[in-house]
C-alpha cells in the first residue's frame, strides 16, 4: 500500500480503520498509522507542520522553511518528503520551488486511532 494514502476514506471524512485500543486493526492500517507517527516522531517535522499551518494562506514555500528550523534546503526537503509520504502534507511544484500544505484531516485521523 502506498505511503501517501490518507487515513481517511475520501468521501466520508472518517477513520478507515479501527482504533488501537478499541479493536484489532489490519496489518495495512497498522503500517499506515505507524508511518504517520514515525513522521511525527521528529521534532523538526512537527515544527515544519506548525510553520506551514500557521502561515497566512495555509501554505509555505520550501524557501521559507529553511531559516526558521535552521537547516539546509536539502535537509528540509528530506523532512518534507517524509511528511508528504506519510500523508500529512501535500506538495505542489511551482517553477523551481515546492509549496506545501498540511493535510489537517490526516492529523485528526491519526489521533482518532488512539482513542478507545
CATH of residue 72: 1.10.10.10
The arithmetic mean of pLDDT across residues 85-113, rounded, is 91
Q: Which value, in Å, is the radius of gyration of the alpha carbons in the chain? A: 15
Domain tally, the chain:
1
Angle at 78 between CA 77 and CA 79, to 5 degrees: 90
In a domain, 4, yes or no: no
| Predicted pLDDT at 80 | 98
In a domain, 8, yes or no: no
Q: With 70 as the cut, is the pLDDT of residue 24 above it?
A: yes
24 vs 53, higher pLDDT: 53
| Predicted pLDDT at 46 | 95
In a domain, 84, yes or no: yes
Helix 43-54 and helix 27-40: axis angle, to 10°? Answer: 80
| Predicted pLDDT at 114 | 73
Q: Assess contact for 44 and 79: CB atoms under 8 A.
A: yes
| Predicted pLDDT at 13 | 37
Neighbours of 47 (CB within 10 A): 14
In a domain, 9, yes or no: no
In a domain, 76, yes or no: yes
In a domain, 102, yes or no: yes
**33-77 pLDDT, tens digit each:** 889 999 999 999 999 999 999 999 999 999 999 999 999 999 999
Mean confidence (pLDDT) of the chain: 83
In a domain, 66, yes or no: yes
**Whole domain around residue 96: which residue ranges?**
27-112
In a domain, 22, yes or no: no
Amino acid at each position: 500500500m502506498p505511503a501517501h494514502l490518507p487515513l481517511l476514506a475520501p468521501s466520508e471524512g472518517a477513520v478507515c480503520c479501527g482504533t488501537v485500543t478499541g479493536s484489532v486493526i489490519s496489518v495495512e492500517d497498522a503500517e499506515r498509522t505507524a508511518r504517520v507517527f514515525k513522521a511525527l516522531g521528529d521534532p523538526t517535522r512537527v515544527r515544519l507542520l506548525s510553520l506551514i499551518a500557521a502561515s497566512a494562506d495555509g501554505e509555505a514555500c520550501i524557501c521559507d522553511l529553511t531559516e526558521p528550523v535552521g537547516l539546509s534546503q536539502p535537509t528540509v526537503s528530506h523532512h518534507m518528503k517524509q511528511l508528504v509520504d506519510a500523508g500529512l502534507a501535500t506538495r505542489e511544484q511551482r517553477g523551481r520551488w515546492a509549496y506545501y500544505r498540511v493535510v489537517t484531516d490526516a492529523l485528526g485521523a491519526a489521533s482518532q486511532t488512539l482513542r478507545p
